[in-house]
């Protein structure tokens, strides 16, 4: 057995979007809005916990949230905009309040500044307008204008935006060049389904089938992890794919909590021991309904991550950290220390 060239890494990314991420979910509006307002406190609490525990996390933030008021936002609104066939997706018709106090669902400049000032936290992009790359009606020109706006509104805060998470994980390979030319070096690719992904050669078809059944009926298989040498795609972008979504706690699924923990721990251990990446993601508002249960699970995972740091050299890395290390290895680049 050889020592991995690169460390195992625990990557955490959060999609910070408030109402911009669920404008089209009209049926759940009222309850969801209360959760979103509460989730603002959890943004601070999560960032502070990460700083305290030396966790380097990526915050993929909707560009419009960088503003603290309508006046501050307006100069950044792009003139070329997506014209989605589904009109309800158009974010530019949203009625906005005056400022962050009056409209805490659409402005979050104070929270973005808090993230930027918190050690180890990477402020990244979730596009400017929660842009949908696979929806009919939009095109590359509108995406480029959106990404330029995201970069422009982050610039006064001195935030370079290196990493991006595309809304609804709508990865459109035709846009890879536009994303790279807009200044991004990495994105979070969609999560392969557990047990359905092509495995290494030694895994037989029978074993794969068994893994699928285990997922469905017993929940024994670990979420996928990713190898360092598979990250950079042929456009030069680094795909730091998701391993698992940290689903919100639900009392109805209480009986499954132990199993869920065990799977996440199995993913972390596999990454640590094999020198691979385990990438966990969620939204701050996923902690809104049951914050104590959410923070308890997160702390449980961070405790395990600390143990694996001692035993196997597992590291906490943001998406930006990962892409810097992966790209240093690509032809034409130079190896890191």
Least distance (Å) between residue 163 CB and Zn ion: 14
Determine the number of helices (DSSP H) and then strands (DSSP E) in the chain.
Answer: 9, 9
Long-range residue pairs from 40-43, CB within 8 A, at least 24 positions apart, any chain: 40/104, 40/108, 40/111, 40/284, 42/284, 42/285, 42/287, 42/288, 42/291, 42/294, 43/16, 43/108, 43/111, 43/114, 43/115, 43/284
Q: CA 98, CA 96: separation in Å to the nearest integer? A: 7
Q: Least distance from C-beta 16 to Zn ion, angstroms?
A: 9
Where does this chain touch Zn ion (CB under 5 A) — which range of 7-15, 33-41, 211-219, 319-327? 7-15
Footprint on residues 147-206 left by Zn ion (CB under 5 A): 167
Task: Return the number of the residue (134 or 266) whose C-beta is nearest Zn ion.
Answer: 134
Distance CA 227, CA 237 (A): 15
- CA distances to 45, 69, 133, 141, 298 from 79, rounded to whole Å, are 36, 19, 18, 11, 41
* C-alpha distance across the termini of the chain, in Å: 23
Among candidates 237, 236, 81, 69, which has minimal Cα distance to 149? 81
CB of 20 to Zn ion, least distance (A): 8
Task: Identify any residues that bridge with 15 across adjacent strands, giving them in sequence order.
Answer: 60
Closest residue to Zn ion, Cβ-based? 21
Nearer Cβ to Zn ion, position 35 or 215? Answer: 35
Our CB check for Zn ion shows the closer of 104 and 167 to be: 167
Residue closer to Zn ion (CB basis): 91 or 167: 167
Q: Which of residues 14-73 bind Zn ion (CB under 5 A)?
A: 15, 17, 21
Q: How far is the CB of 126 from Zn ion (least distance, A)?
A: 6
Query: CB of residue 230 vs Zn ion: minimum separation in angstroms?
Result: 25
**Nearest of 124, 115, 151 to residue 40 by alpha carbon:** 115
Note the Cα 149 to chain centre separation in Å. Answer: 20
Cβ 188 to Zn ion shortest distance, Å: 11
Q: Which is nearer to Zn ion, 21 or 195 (CB)?
A: 21
91 is an interface residue for Zn ion by CB under 5 A: no
Which of the ranges 2-10, 12-20, 284-292, 321-329 carries the binding residues for Zn ion, by CB under 5 A? 12-20
Q: Using CB under 5 A, which of the segments 8-16, 105-113, 153-161, 221-229 binds Zn ion? A: 8-16
Q: Which is nearer to Zn ion, 188 or 263 (CB)?
A: 188
Which value, in Å, is the radius of gyration of the alpha carbons in the chain? Answer: 20
Nearer to Zn ion, 17 or 122 (CB): 17
- Min dist CB 102 to Zn ion, Å, is 23
Which residues form the interface with Zn ion (CB under 5 A)? 15, 17, 21, 167
């Amino acid at each position: 057995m050889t020592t991995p060239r690169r460390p195992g890494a625990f990557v955490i990314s959060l999609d910070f979007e408030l109402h911009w991420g669920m404008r089209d979910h009209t049926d759940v509006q009222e309850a969801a809005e209360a959760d979103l307002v509460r989730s603002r406190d959890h943004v601070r609490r999560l960032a502070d916990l990460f700083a305290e525990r030396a966790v380097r996390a990526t915050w993929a933030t909707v560009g419009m949230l960088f503003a603290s008021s309508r006046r501050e936002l307006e100069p950044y609104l792009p003139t070329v905009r997506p014209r989605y066939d589904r009109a309800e997706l158009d974010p530019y018709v949203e009625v906005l309040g005056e400022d962050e106090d009056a409209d805490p669902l659409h402005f979050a400049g104070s929270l973005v500044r808090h993230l930027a000032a918190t050690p180890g936290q990477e402020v990244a992009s979730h596009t400017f307008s929660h842009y949908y790359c696979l929806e009919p009606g939009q095109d590359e020109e509108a995406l480029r204008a959106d990404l330029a706006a995201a970069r422009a509104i982050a610039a006064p805060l001195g935030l370079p935006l290196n990493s991006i998470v595309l809304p609804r994980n709508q990865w459109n390979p035709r846009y890879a060049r536009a994303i790279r030319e807009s200044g991004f070096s990495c994105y979070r690719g969609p999560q392969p389904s557990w047990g359905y992904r092509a495995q290494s050669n030694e895994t037989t078809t029978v074993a794969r089938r068994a893994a699928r059944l285990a997922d469905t009926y017993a929940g024994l298989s670990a979420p996928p992890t990713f190898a360092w040498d598979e990250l950079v795609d042929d456009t030069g972008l680094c795909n730091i794919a998701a391993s698992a979504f940290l689903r919100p706690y639900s009392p109805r699924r209480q009986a499954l909590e132990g199993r869920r923990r065990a799977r996440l721990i199995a993913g972390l251990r596999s990454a640590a021991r094999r020198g691979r990446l385990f990438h966990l993601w969620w939204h701050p508002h996923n902690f809104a309904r049951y914050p104590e249960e959410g923070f308890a699970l997160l702390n449980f995972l961070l405790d395990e991550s600390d143990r694996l740091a001692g035993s196997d050299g597992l590291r906490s890395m943001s998406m930006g950290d990962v892409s810097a290390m992966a790209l240093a290895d690509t032809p034409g680049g130079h190896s890191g220390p």
